A and B are shown apart, each in its own frame.
Chain A
Amino acid sequence: MLSGEHFYHATIKRVVSVFGTLFNNITIGRHSGDKISNIQKVPISYGPREKFISRMNKDLDGNKIAIKLPRMSFEITSIEYDTSTKLNKLNTTITTGTNNSPRTRNKMYQSVPYTIGMQLNILARNQEDALQILEQIVPTFSPEYTVTIKDIEGPGSKTDVPFILNGVSFDDTYEGDYQGRRTLTYTLDFTIRARFAPNINKNVSIIKKVETEIADFTNVATTAARPMSTINVSQDSPAGPITTFVSLIDPADVHTVDLVYKNVSLSGINPLNRITGISIASGATADFDRVEDEDFTSSLSNLTGTSSSVGVGAQFSAIIDGLTGATTSVSISNRGEAYVATETITISDAPYNNTNLVLTVDSIFDGTGDEPEGAINTFSVTSGNGNNTDVAATFNPVFTRTGLTTEPVLNSPNDSPGLHGREARIAITLDKAGAITGATLENGGYDYNTAQQIKLGPVRLGETAATFFLDNLVTTGGTGSGAQLSLILNGQDGSLSDIGVFEPGSGYTVGDDLTVAGNLIGENSPGESAPSTDLVVNVDSIDESGGVVTVSAISGAVGDADRVDAKQFEYDSPFTNLVLNITSTNSVPISGTFQKSGSQNNKPKYTNTTSSNVQIAYNGRWELLQDTEVLATNTNDSPLYNIPFTDWIVLGRDTESLVFTTTENVEFTLGETIQGNISSGEASIVTSANSRITVNNLEQAYVEDELITGESGTIRTVFRTILAP
């Protein structure tokens, strides 16, 4: 029924909105001589509204008044057919087609005139407020005021819409008893001449050619009416007879069409031997060093306890050290009631069931404020907050390390000499003790063999570096003063790895012995197990002011566990590798498909420039696929961009030959007719070269990605069309 197609021009909504705009900037004030007070803009709104929206944002506990005055409101009162402005219903409006094609237009039939009745109401309490509003409105309408509104008769249309003020009435209920309220309302009735537009017929084809035969009825008496195929025009016309009256095919309508080859096959790259499966062989056992820098802070909430008196309802939250189980702080989440100062609260629920957490109430609220009487104000922890294995057991985090590059285990089973595999990356998960709970493959790398082993070093697993640095070490001894040294110590055993001068000082002589006190390099720390050992060095060379330039160690350079112990949880040993077995690899040769999905248009080419660097010249976007897996992509759109093979295929294969094949290597021939598969456009070839054709007599512009087929059977894909200037 009717058109069957959805359309909506929002005519009434636009009229309502424009009507509101006419009156939304009216200012009034209270005049008393030259003084004008209470200067304000009068609020206006469209009266009808959803009831719940008008009520839901009301603050029920806020200050209440009846209403804010003065104010205006308006609403639609009628919508009636306007017989006085009817136009021929077969009139049409023609605009440029939605698809911007030179061959199509949008067509819309005559809009239908209606009058919309609109009522503007002014509510005031003060008579002069209402009169000021009224007297600022009335002079504008004589009796109509015309506004040009956009788009109500289709996109791009401009319609003059008269707003006619029919009259003003008012209601003033000032009589009666004193209990009743006086309501002062002015009502202004408007008529708006609007037009409702029908649906737009989009992209209607233009009649391009008309041929007419005119019958000569003057000779009916002698012969049957016969068609007259030619007419002669006597003035301002070409000399010859006109046989075709209209031809809308413009010879200037020349299109250039860029074409592409799609789905060019690639083959010939040797298999990559990527890892596809791994399993843990060793090294997964707990090593706290791997996770020592993690955050072990955790929390417990909704803790309730038993009062030593009658208090009830208090709830607490605790911050705990997930490693030791010590309770580091307690906060209150519900202050409860009926507590008294100095009473104790014993929390005995798990995980405090073996060692109870005992709190003491320090102060309470007295009930005069928002808090009830006996609500806990302040409290302190009395006992039970020390190390607690039950509490520690509640914290079971999973730590994750990702993007860990592996190293091959040399001489493991199936390890290929000189080709041990590269670039495999894995991710691991650890528990809080540093045990490795899982290992997953992130990138399979290449050149691996099944049953070969790979490993992750301790630093990659989370252990800190194997050396530590000490600066600013003050020295004693020698003939000068002010020399300071820098040391690098082995993180495993505390032995001296390297030594340097941090501050040269002055006044030294070659051969001086300088001493760095043992406590500066970690000796004398609590729990030390070996005698304190100082580091003594010899001054080997000095500058002209006696500043130390080079030194060498005399004693104290050997390993000393005390130095390492001083950095507990940072440099303890031993380091442990995680070793993984390769359980499967992928050895399928690469033979994929280049797909073009971007701009520009050239045939794919390849150039084997050297034995080690294959280059591909293709100015477009590329994907290299293996089955459905994307092996590499190139998003560079610059024309004639030479893509080094190693730039976009990071897998390291750089000595292979490539073979590109395509069956779509036939060019169109001059004069050939081509036909699109989407646009139904038909045209003939004017020129054809290098993946670009120029056509004329084009029925309809081709669209991107459409296939076009020539008379010869050649099929190519349209990249873009360019209308000749």
Chain B
Amino acid sequence: MARNTYFSQGSVAEKDLYEDMVVEALSIYGQDVYYIPRDIISSDDILNNTIESKFSSSYLVEMYIENTEGFDGDGDLLGKFGLEIRDQVTLLVARRSFARATRGSNLVRPKEGDLIYLPLSKSLFELRFVEHEQPFYQLNNLVLYKLSCELFEYENEDIDTGLDLIDDVQKIYETTTSVGITYTAGTTAKFEIGEEVTITFGDSSTGTSEVLGFDEDQSPIILNLGTLTVTDGSINKIAPSSTIVGSKSGASASVTTGEDTTSETYSADAFDDSADFEAINNNYIDFSEFNPFGEPNA
């Protein structure tokens, strides 16, 4: 038996009124957050992982935080791998607001894997799941996305949204390689934080990296670089014969002190003991053994 057509399940005007009220309510009770879409540069179709991702844009959109008494999840935990924060949050965003905020982009809906930056708590969340059918067709329409998010597990992805408060995540957490440099004589240009640099290794092969910071009070000047990218298939170390050229500033420098894993400047990671192990084990491990049958010629 067909549906009784004498009872309306929502006229166009009623649907619009309902959506207007939802949008207005979220505007009143919501928070401004930054929606940061993930650009997948390459992916692995065998192990089904992304190989390289980048976050290069952001959209300000209001969302309602469904959690009223703090974040869900397990909170701050000390585990095998050090401090881990397992905050979860559920956000509501009106479909119309989302479309308005992202107009001009090719985003049609919030996507799993994208990031949401919550300025309120300075938290960078990753979108785990988008529930698109709640509330369930009350007036035969759907006006909301319900976003289940969890704090982002950072893997040295490039974050270049142009907003310092978001881009700082990369500066703080990206694995850092520190080298000592001397600017090429006769040039006045200095490296700029965030610019891409081209590194020419001793064997004339090249790689690229990003400037995360520098300390000009040191001698030689300490330059902090992000993770390295090479295109010839072999991983080189930044040794004293290497040169570094900035793509934006045009600054050029030669490396005087290569990357050093025994130094605490190697990484800002508070839970990395690599340098401590390296330093103390010069006293513990015996390197004096030799081959009783003679050492082979080099």
A contact residues vs B (CB 8 Å cutoff): 14, 17-18, 20-21, 24-25, 27, 29-41, 43-47, 49, 51, 54-55, 57-58, 61-71, 73, 75, 121, 123, 125-129, 147-151, 158, 177-179, 181
Contacts and interface: CB of A to CB of B under 8 A. Distances in A.
Interface in B254-298: 261, 266-267, 269-274, 276-278, 280-281, 283-286, 288-289
B155 A129 contact: yes
A64 B123 contact: yes
A65 B173 contact: yes
Contacts of A62: 122, 172
B270 A57 contact: yes
Given A31-B51, A39-B229, A149-B284, A125 B153 contact: yes
- Classify the secondary structure of B's interface with A: mixed
Contacts of B88: 179
B85 A43 contact: no
Contact of A38 (B82, B155, B269): B155
A178 B112 contact: yes
Interface of B: 42, 44, 47-52, 76, 78-88, 112, 121-124, 128-129, 148, 150-156, 165, 168-169, 172-173, 175, 207, 227-233, 235, 261, 266-267, 269-274, 276-278, 280-281, 283-286, 288-289
The 4 closest A-B pairs by CB, nearest first: A43-B272, A178-B129, A66-B151, A20-B277
B285 A67 contact: no
Given A21-B278, A69-B154, A127-B47, A38 B272 contact: no
Given A41-B267, A66-B85, A17 B281 contact: yes
Given A43-B267, A46-B273, A73-B82, A149 B168 contact: no
Given A47-B81, A71-B272, 8 more contacts: A29-B235, A38-B229, A54-B270, A62-B122, A71-B82, A151-B284, A158-B286, A178-B148
Contact of A63 (B128, B168, B175): B168
B116 to A, nearest CB: 13
Contacts of A66: 84-87, 150-154
B291 to A, nearest CB: 14
A36 B286 contact: no
Contact of B83 (A44, A58, A151, A181): A58
Contacts of B173: 65, 68
Given A34-B233, A128-B47, A149 B273 contact: no
A174 to B, nearest CB: 9
6 contacts: A17-B280, A21-B281, A43-B271, A45-B271, A65-B154, A69-B155
A66 B150 CA distance: 8
A68 B289 CA distance: 39
B52 A30 contact: yes
B233 A63 contact: no
Contacts of A148: 285-286, 289
Given A25-B274, A38-B156, A44-B272, A30 B51 contact: yes
B80 A25 contact: no
A69 to B, nearest CB: 5
Contact of B51 (A25, A32, A177): A32
A179 B129 contact: yes
Contacts of A49: 78, 82
Nearest to A119: B80
Contacts of A44: 272-274, 277
A67 B277 contact: no
Given A65-B124, A65-B153, A158-B286, A55 B83 contact: yes
Contacts of A46: 273
Nearest to B273: A45
Given A43-B274, A65-B152, A67-B85, A35 B230 contact: yes
B124 A40 contact: no
Given A34-B232, A41-B175, A64-B122, A181 B150 contact: yes
A47 B273 contact: no
A65 B229 CA distance: 24
B274 A41 contact: yes
A125 B155 contact: yes
Given A17-B277, A63-B122, A75-B80, A126 B49 contact: yes
A55 B227 CA distance: 27
Contacts of B42: 32
A492 B163 CA distance: 75
Contacts of A67: 81-85, 153-154
B191 to A, nearest CB: 20
Nearest to B280: A17
A158 B81 CA distance: 32
B167 to A, nearest CB: 10
Contacts of B82: 45, 49, 54, 67, 71, 73
B290 to A, nearest CB: 12
A67 B155 CA distance: 9
Contacts of B233: 33-36
A40 B227 contact: yes
A62 B129 CA distance: 26
